[in-house]
Chain A
Amino acid sequence: MFKYFPHTDADLQAMFRKVGIKSLDDLYAEVPGQIRFRGEYQLPGEMSEMEVRQLFDKLGAENKQLTCFAGAGVYDHYTPSAIPQLLSRSEFLTSYTPYQAEISQGTLHYIFEYQSMMAELTGMDISNASMYDGSTATAEAVMMAVAAGKKQNKVLVSETIDPKVLAVVKTYAHFHGIEIEMIPAKDGVTDLSTLNSQLSTDVAGVLVQQPNFYGIVEDYGGFADACHNQKALFIMNSVAADLAVLKTPGEWGADIAVGDGQSLGIPMQWGGPYVGYMCCTEKLIRKMPGRIVGMTQDNRGQRAFVLTLQAREQHIRRQKATSNICSNQSLMALWATVYMSLMGKQGLKEAAELSYAGAHYLCDELLKTGKFTLAYNQPFFNEFVVRYSGDVDALQKRLTENGIFGGIKLDADKLMFAVTEKRTKEEVDNLVKMAAL
């Protein structure tokens, strides 16, 4: 038998006798003949482990490894060695949703830590146990704002939000019957006076991003009050790691803070898996989608952790649930938790400041070449947009050929670069040299 099937011939015969059948085929006696699959799957034949490994090595060689100077929501941060080692422990990897609390304290315990850390990072009261990614967490926040409101059905979204996140939000909104209206941007930032004119009694929420899609750190002073005056919730999407330094969604007066946790040391892995976070004020806890872990006691008087407030969820409430989400993104939440434990209070800040310094140095050096100008005169964090006087496509092609992922092209003459603590000064100088040609 194949290596994942333990059945010997003797086992099969004994089991057939117990079940009262003569062959495996008899197990499907009730399946109508016309839909019974009796052919051969058009798939490759069994491969040995060596062959599987060789095939993936060959496919891997068809990808090109680039030094990454791009972000747009996904950042090339360094992963400390301890994380993949700890996460490969089978007890974490091969368990499922912690329904049986007595043998799942490992998972429940780290989710409680994750919730605690995300609440600290965002400056919010509480966090859920995590969501799929930043885009779906944002879409869920938009639905949550509408569900928390009283018959308001419109959500205002700043034009400075990541267009990829916006596309997902719009998908959910379209099918859920939520009206999305864009708040125009001026000089790369959300315009408060326009927002004020757009706010009305039918607005359930206002969604902004910080730093925004262009890497700009916006001034959201006055936004929360404007929203709350109209009984709308203020939703802020942020890159998690940046909040170690930046003014938090909590400090800006946000009701819901969401975003992607990929920046917390999770590899880029071509788009996933990452982890979405969602935090909110204590008042909104029962409107929150997804799993939440709470503290309690066991019958021996010990501290214990357990899935809680489950009356919000699909397996209890079915169509009346706060969301259709079932599991969280547990293992990736653990990834972020171990990252935050290792980096700690100081390390997370230091990495963010290094990223900030690298990006500002790169920006200054690019401007010195005389071929680039800053697209927006606004404060930025570790990502920025420049105009290029030459042919953007030709520049990007040259950079790619030299092993550099040279930013994201935004339009005919605009490029967006990002720098993390993982880039060395040598790499930055090399990019500048190649870009100056």
Chain B
Amino acid sequence: MNNRLYGNLIFELSQEGRSGYSLPKNQYGSYSVPAELRRKEDAALPECDEMTVVRHYTNLSADNFGVDNGFYPLGSCTMKYNPKINEEVAALPQFANLHPLQPAETTQGAEEVCRQLCKSLCELTGLYAFTLKPFAGAHGELTGLMVIKKYHESRGDEARRLVIVPDSAHGTNPASAAVCGLEIVEVKSLGDGTVDVEALRELLAQHGSEIAAMMMTNPNTLGLFEKQIPEIEKLVHAAGGLMYYDGANLNPMLGAARPGDMGFDVMHINLHKTFSTPHGGGGPGAGPVGVRKGLEGFFPEVSPYHGNFAVAMRAYAYILSLGRENIKLVGPLATLNANYIKESLKDVYELPIDGLCKHEFVFDGLKDKSTGVTTMDVAKRLLDYGYHAPTIYFPLLFHESLMIEPTENESKETIDGFIAVMRKIAQEAKENPDEVKSAPHLTPIGRVDDVLAAKHPIVTFRQLKNEIMKE
């Protein structure tokens, strides 16, 4: 058992007879659940007093790092500031207490939030209609692909089962296509990191009548704007396919370009990225899907009610707070921050593709690889200096990918501090590589044994107890 009191599991703090709740007395008389319907044994849940529970989770939170703790340059995730007013409005009891099946005349305020949010998203993306039903980005991708499949089916064009994705695409793209019953064809990138239009042309010549859609992230996962997009869009449309925009990287486009104007027909937006809703340790997010006029009749039933409504509330509050004047600065400032970091570090970290990036960019590890210090080591050493690590080993195009996304909310001082530490780590890699390779040293725990966890999975307290008994 762990000897740090607050390193314990809540189950290890439990004592029989303690309780952390209070309920009103039963006033209904002697109704009780018949024995034949009951479970044999009570669920072995913890028994703790209220303060023990509060201390336990408060102390657990101290072992976490969030955007409010410090710089979080996790590429592809847009870890921007999560405004506090958003939390307050989302928790208003006038919204939080609504049952999703309440009569429509009693939910007019909630309806209006959804209508106005959809209208704003249409305006910002150049698309015609949005559904708020998808719960997350990957759920949005799946929903969007369903729209596309239904569109082709409605035209009796059922041979269209192929989805083109660039080799730099997010893993969710091919996975969503597979869940949707579609197949993936990859199109290669050029040396400059953007889609090889000639390869695409050949692919379309070969498979044109089978192409359902092309999925693109623009800017792509290398942070590069796909400047051939007008040509790509023309080619895919001419072959009868639709264009899907993965909204994971929408942030730098605010104030710069709209997916609808780029020729995309369907897209999802990660409200938890571009529209500032908190990532919550991995959810809840929201993945509204937008479509061009004519496709709005194909939205499928992917969730029972109104999606993650409380997340939509936060996004709408964000759009209202910024207003049209400030929302158009989001993209340029995020892009400026990313380019500034790139230019300040490219002499010590390997920049495989030079030139302007958008909101993020990818280094291929340290420039000097002779020290044996890897991207993993750099990431872990950053933790010692109080920074969250960038996204590592993605995209798969490079062996030592280190993907940095600063967002528009970071000040020059914060960024300069990060740059100084990145340079210091590069220096340490030369002078004291073991210090970097064995990092982190200052975090609550050291590097974890992933292999042990996977080889012999222990995923519940009951399994852990059985394990201890065996020993």
Contact = CB atoms under 8 A, between A and B. Distances in A.
A216 B299 CA distance: 33
B27 to A, nearest CB: 4
Nearest to B440: A102
Interface residues of A, number: 199
Contacts of B471: none
A304 B445 contact: yes
A96 to B, nearest CB: 4
A224 interface: no
Contact of A267 (B32, B97, B146, B304): B97
A324 interface: yes
Nearest to A164: B304
Contacts of B184: 318-319
Given A4-B322, A5-B333, A90 B69 contact: yes
Given A37-B257, A326-B137, 5 more contacts: A302-B2, A323-B179, A327-B136, A346-B21, A356-B32
Nearest to B21: A347
A41 B328 contact: yes
A37 B320 contact: no
Given A63-B109, A273-B308, A354-B26, A43 B327 contact: yes
Return the 7 tightest CB-CB contacts between A and B, nearest first: A271-B305, A60-B94, A331-B280, A46-B323, A94-B66, A106-B64, A273-B284
B69 A91 contact: yes
A246 B36 CA distance: 9
A308 B28 contact: no
A342 interface: yes
Interface in B394-417: 394, 408-412
Given A96-B279, A133-B303, A298 B171 contact: no
Interface stretch (B198-206, B364-372, B420-428, B448-456): B448-456
A30 B100 contact: no
Nearest to A218: B37
Given A18-B340, A113-B9, A353-B32, A64 B105 contact: yes
B172 interface: yes
Nearest to A364: B31
Of B46, B410, B445, the most chain A CB neighbours within 10 A belong to B445
A47 B323 contact: yes
B39 A84 contact: no
Interface string B117-151: 00010011010000000011111011001100100
Contacts of B2: 302-303
A30 B225 contact: yes
A112 B8 CA distance: 12
A341 B48 contact: yes
Contact of B179 (A52, A106, A143, A316): A143
Given A15-B412, A107-B281, A116-B11, A55 B320 contact: yes
Given A27-B332, A171-B300, A297 B449 contact: yes
B457 A285 contact: yes
Interface in A11-45: 11-12, 14-16, 18-21, 24-25, 27-32, 34-37, 40-45
A43 B255 CA distance: 12
A167 interface: yes
A91 B61 contact: yes
A343 B336 CA distance: 49
Contact of A298 (B97, B142, B323, B447): B447
B320 A92 contact: no
B294 interface: no
Given A298-B445, A346-B47, A270 B333 contact: no
B48 to A, nearest CB: 6
Interface residues of B, number: 194
Contacts of A150: none
Contacts of B322: 2, 4, 46
Interface string B434-454: 000010100111111110111
B26 A357 contact: yes
Contacts of B311: 272-273
Contact of B383 (A18, A103, A164, A338): A103
Nearest to A399: B103
A308 B23 contact: no
A136 B303 contact: yes
A405 B98 CA distance: 10
Of A31, A68, A102, A298, the most chain B CB neighbours within 10 A belong to A102
A41 B326 CA distance: 10
6 contacts: A47-B320, A80-B20, A117-B45, A175-B179, A294-B458, A356-B32
A415 B305 CA distance: 20
A164 B123 CA distance: 31
A90 B87 CA distance: 11
A51 B389 CA distance: 37
Contact of A318 (B106, B110, B175, B336): B175
Contacts of A431: none
B248 to A, nearest CB: 10
A296 B304 contact: no
A145 B238 CA distance: 40
Contacts of A170: 301
Contacts of B53: 82, 338, 341-342
A11 B38 CA distance: 67
B256 A36 contact: yes
Contact of A91 (B65, B145, B302): B65
A408 B68 contact: no
Interface stretch (A69-77, A183-191, A200-208, A367-375): A69-77
Interface string A342-384: 1111111111111011101100000000000000000101000
A283 interface: no
Contacts of A29: 356
Contact of B309 (A7, A272, A293, A317): A272
Nearest to B284: A273
A402 interface: no
Interface in B95-114: 95-103, 105-110, 112-113
B442 to A, nearest CB: 9
Contact of A102 (B135, B149, B323, B443): B443
A175 B408 CA distance: 39
B135 A272 contact: yes
A269 B54 contact: no
B188 to A, nearest CB: 16
A133 B135 contact: yes
Interface in A233-267: 243-248, 251, 267
Contacts of B171: 313-318, 321, 326
A143 B181 CA distance: 12
B378 interface: no
A394 interface: no
B9 A112 contact: yes
A308 B455 CA distance: 9
A326 B2 CA distance: 31
A45 B23 contact: no
Contact of A127 (B81, B261, B459): B459
Contacts of A227: none
Interface string B3-42: 0000101110010001111011011110111100111101
Contacts of B389: 99-100
Contact of B305 (A61, A85, A270, A347): A270
Given A37-B261, A316-B171, A86 B58 contact: yes
Contact of A269 (B14, B26, B96, B335): B96
A209 interface: no
A62 interface: yes
Given A168-B303, A295-B464, A323-B175, A44 B100 contact: no
